[in-house]
């Protein structure tokens, strides 16, 4: 059975999970972090080479200040607690998006975690923080324009050249994109990279997602016929 090399997940439904239990939204996000831990482990066991998770979009700044603070607190906690495990298990941490605008201590934690795991050779865990696919493409276009201004021929801009300018540079091609909680949108996530990805929308709310749900998603991927434009 074919296993997707690179899986991306839009982890949606934390708020609804909490609401259904009359709990504050932060309780849903906390359970969301537990799901993230379970799924990261399961991805490794399934042989997935790269797992990319949408933790905070560039549009999430529109949420109430308190919720943003809670999410940043969870991220801080996650990085402090998981870094040793990631180092031990050979996971390589990558960040997509402009995380440099986050609080200084978070930027330091992230830089430290990325540096400490950079020479690992295990699976890649890519976390999207303050990420938006359109902004990612704008940055790529600007960098390529600068190169052209400096003398690079326009013809040198091809798909591979754009790939190299994206935050996902060096990751395997995206095979499978999953969104939980029944919503069927890409919400500005990996728009370029999803060109040939299989899309899977599941009803499960993210805090209820687990290794078995990921295995089901991988099995569903295995049943799809991928043609990449051919017959
Ligand atoms: C969507 O649920 C989820 C998010 C906006 C954030 C996902 C974040 C986590 C799983 C935890 C923090 C991440 C790390 C890396 C520590 P929603 O709030 O939009 O749910 P709703 O649509 O039901 O309201």
Ligand 1 centre to CA of 172 (Å) is 25
Write the CB contacts of 175 (distance below 8 Å, at least 6 apart in sequence): 4, 5, 6, 7, 197, 198, 221
User: Which has more pLDDT, 228 or 204?
Assistant: 204
Does residue 138 sit within a domain?
A: no
Q: What are φ and ψ of residue 122, in 5° steps?
A: -90, -160
Instruction: Give the range of the structural domain holding residue 22, as residue numbers without chain letter.
Output: 6-131+174-221
Within a domain: 197: yes
Specify if 93 maps to a domain. yes
Cβ(123) – ligand 1 distance below 6 Å: no
User: What's the pLDDT at 9?
Assistant: 98
**Domain count along the chain:** 1
Read off the pLDDT of residues 101-156 as tens digits, 9 standing for 90 and up: 999 999 999 999 999 999 999 999 999 999 999 999 999 999 999 999 999 999 99
Q: Is 29 in the pocket of ligand 1 (CB under 6 A)?
A: yes
**How far apart are the CA of 11 and the centre of ligand 1, in A?**
6
CATH code assigned at 86? 3.40.1180.10
Q: How far apart are CA 140 and CA 146, in angstroms?
A: 10
3-state secondary structure the chain: CCCCCEEEEECCCHHHHHHHCCCCHHHHHHHHHHHHHHHHHHHHHHCCCEEEEEEEECCHHHCCHHHHHHHHHHHHHHHHHHHHHHHHHCCEEEEECCHHHCCHHHHHHHHHHHHHHCCCCCCEEEEEEEECHHHHHHHHHHHHHHHHHCCCCHHHCCHHHHHHHCCCCCCCCCCEEEECCCCCCCCCCCCCHHHHCEEEECCCCHHHCCHHHHHHHHHHHHHCCCCCCCC
Decide: 71 in ligand 1 pocket, CB within 6 A: yes
Is residue 162 domain-resident? no
CA angle, 179 as apex, 129 and 59 as ends, to 5°?
35
- Taking all residues of the chain, what is their mean pLDDT, rounded to a whole number? 97
Q: Which of 60, 98, 120, 188 is catalytic?
A: 60
Does residue 158 surpass a pLDDT of 90? yes
Contact of 10 with 181, CB cutoff 8 Å: no
Write the residue with the smallest CA distance to atom 10 of ligand 1. Answer: 32
Distance 12 CA to ligand 1 centre (A): 6
Q: What is the mean pLDDT of residues 13-19?
A: 98
Q: Establish whether 12 is a catalytic residue.
A: yes
- Is the residue at 77 inside a domain? yes
Q: Does the reported pTM lie above 0.75?
A: yes
Domain membership flag for residue 199: yes
Taking CA atoms only, the protein residue closest to ligand 1 atom 6 is 55
Tell me if 189 is assigned to some domain: yes
Atom of ligand 1 nearest to the CA of 19: 23
- Catalytic residue flag (residue 84): no
Atom 14, ligand 1: which residue's CA is nearest?
Answer: 75
Looking at the chain, the whole-number percentage of residues with pLDDT higher than 90 is: 97
CA 182 – ligand 1 centroid, Å: 14
* Across 188-213, average pLDDT: 98
| Position in ligand 1 atom list of the atom nearest CA 25 | 18
Q: Which of 34, 37, 55 to mutate to test the pocket of ligand 1 (most atoms within 8 A of CB)?
A: 55
Residues in the chain: 231
39 CB within 6 A, ligand 1: no
CB half-sphere exposure, 13, CA atoms < 13 A = 22
Asked if residue 181 belongs to a domain, the reply is: yes
Q: How confident is the model at residue 226 (pLDDT cuts 50, 70, 90)?
A: confident
Residue-level pLDDT at 1 = 78
Q: How far is the CA of 71 from the centre of ligand 1 (A)?
A: 8
């Amino acid at each position: 059975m074919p296993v997707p090399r690179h899986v991306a997940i839009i982890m949606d439904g934390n708020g609804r999970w909490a609401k259904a239990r009359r709990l504050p939204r932060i309780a849903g996000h906390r359970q969301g972090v537990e799901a993230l831990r379970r799924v990261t482990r399961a991805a490794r066991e399934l042989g997935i080479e790269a797992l990319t998770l949408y933790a905070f979009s560039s549009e999430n700044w529109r949420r109430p200040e308190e919720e943003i603070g809670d999410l940043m607190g969870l991220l801080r906690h996650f990085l402090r607690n998981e870094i040793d495990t990631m180092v031990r298990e050979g996971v390589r941490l990558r960040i997509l998006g402009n995380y440099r605008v986050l609080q200084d201590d978070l930027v330091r934690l992230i830089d430290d975690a990325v540096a400490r795991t950079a020479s690992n050779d295990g699976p890649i865990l890519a976390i999207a923080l303050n990420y938006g696919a359109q902004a990612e493409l704008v940055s790529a276009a600007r960098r390529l324009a600068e190169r052209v201004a400096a003398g690079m021929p326009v013809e040198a801009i091809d798909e591979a050249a754009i790939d190299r300018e994206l935050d996902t540079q060096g990751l395997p091609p995206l095979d499978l994109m999953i969104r939980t909680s029944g919503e069927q949108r890409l919400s500005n996530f990996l728009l370029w990279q999803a060109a040939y990805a299989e899309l899977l929308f599941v009803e499960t709310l993210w805090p209820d997602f687990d290794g078995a749900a990921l295995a089901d998603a991988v099995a569903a991927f295995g049943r799809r016929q991928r043609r990449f434009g051919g017959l």
